[in-house]
Structure 1
Amino acid sequence: MTADQLWIASLALAALGLLVLAGRLLLRLHRAERTEQRVVQLLRQRETAAAVIQPFPMPGLQPLGTATPQTDQDAAQQVLERLKPPAWLETGLAKALFAQEDRKLMEQAGIEIGRGGLIFVASRTALCLLLPVLVLLVLQPQGMKAMFYAFAAFSLGLMLPKWILRSKATNRRKQVVEELPLFVDLLRLLQGVGLSIDQSLHILATEFGSVLRVLSAELGLANRLYSSGRTREQSLQRLAMLGADDDMSAVVNLLVQVDRHGGAVQEPLREFSLRLREKRQANFKEKIGTITVKMTGVMVLTLLPALIVITAGPGFTAVIRSLSSIGGR
């Protein structure tokens, strides 16, 4: 490959990197624009619904789409039944294979305890029994090596479901951290138009599922728990455990205090939103610094040889030609 070809390849790679970066920026702008349009549309619908006045209300009739109190109680009772762990999980074997830490990870991963616990215990049991047998049949070790391989396969079968569950919980907590600034801004916006805490949380849970994929589902669950008779603090306890840091817990504590004692929440939410943005900027700067250090090694391994060939190649070629001509004489 000549120097011109290397130079063209370097320019092509740089252009490809710029295109990828521009695509990511355009995708973020598109998502922000969609979110803004959604907020404006919901606020207009809210104003239109508030302006409509029912002239002759009929006793005993309800608007379309409005659930009865009995329906709300039944739905909340079903939620409580799903959250309650089944009785078989309290047995000795189930406690050994499905510890309290695993249950907490399953809650953070957004998996129901009943169905998810059954799959978790069954997968752990099957892997612990099948992996050692499979390893011994395939490798056919002898003596102490067979015992070592069997123990390693047993340990892998025991820990593999937990590693997968922890990875899913970690990814979901990172998603919560990404959604938290938008959640705070939307909550402050809904509070600014005169909605209560209950109305704001209900709208966030029902209307913003496309942008708040994790928080909207958890808010819907918290609203159903609150309608079943639990306090606001108890219903939001699961949500407070989702965040990878203390920011989600701080938002939950703020909502609980406002629900308990009342007061304006717009100014605290505005200050909290500013603090979240400053924290995200600091995290981005830290990531950029880490990427810069990592890219130094990549550039040394990839670009430095090409630069040496391009810059010093003609000189080396001239020296070799001169030496060959001297040797030829």
Structure 2
Amino acid sequence: MKNASKIKTFITALSLTGAVMASAPAFALDEVTYGTNWLAQAEHGGFYQAVADGTYEKYGLKVTIVQGGPQSANRSLLIAGKVDFYMGGPLGEMDAVKQGIPLVDVAAIFQKDPQILIAHPDQGIEKFEDLAKLDSIFMSKDGYVTYFEWMKKNFKGFSDAQFKPYTFNPAPFLADPKSSQQGYLTSEPYEIEKQAGWAPKVFLLADHGYDPYSTMITTQTKMVEEHPDLVQRFVDASLEGWYTYLYGDNTAGNDLIKKDNPEMTDGQLAFSLEKMKEYGIVDSGTTLEKGIGCMTDEKYKSFFDNMVEIGIEPADLDYKKAYTTQFVCKGVGMDLKK
């Protein structure tokens, strides 16, 4: 009887242990923060998709997206170690190398920067070079010292006399048919057509030689060195999120975008997605064979050389410290493409 009692007690203990284990999570998720460069929008869609549909959790991650915006300082938060990853860009990381700040790009979501110049229709502006005929080009100060310097260096006819400050108000452009304005492929053309009732001529700088990557996954060099597995899991899950957002059911991602940014509309989301696909912003060139997020030494060097040519970066900069290709170009997520 004593043995029977012991066996019964043992079985009861096993049952209780099993119940506790069944109620506990299989494993603890690694908590990760990703800081974006603006308010939630379709251009961030793959990250939101991976949160919304559980892709990050599948990779053992609990990801919080920290929205950017007019008053945000997400890049500074990355430098300070307050966020783990940031939506950076090659110029920012090259400047970080110059300043001795250890930041590194680990994936390039946008193969093409969506920076555009737009013009009025029916003004004889049919080719990129025709923009040199216009009296005014409204652009930001950053645009003036980067891509406009590149334009002057590589095309005839552009001059400083054309520069007009862009205040992110399209009214001066709309009022002057002999002008052009900077914009984002996925944004300004949509708003202008809504306001003016006509579609502007669109010139994507990336299709004319101004070729930076954009919408990066950027982190501290220390993260890459000390936690490469976590970096790889975040990159891989993000890439799967982008494939689903572009080619699958992105309802969950869009719902989460609208939750974070209530001013976002279904019309804007649909337009942005259409243009990202039409122009190959995310999936084109190298990514067609090696997967979204891919970076190559050749393309990174091409942009660096352009920046050296216009005096933005010094020729002796060790720009290769600004990125690593170890986490990308592995075809992750390509099976989700339909």
TM-score (norm 1): 0.23
Structure number having the greater strand percentage:
2
Structure number having the greater helix percentage:
1
Question: Greater relative contact order: 1 or 2 (C-alpha under 8 angstroms, separation 6 or more)?
Answer: 2
Structure number with greater Rg is 1
TM-score (norm 2): 0.23
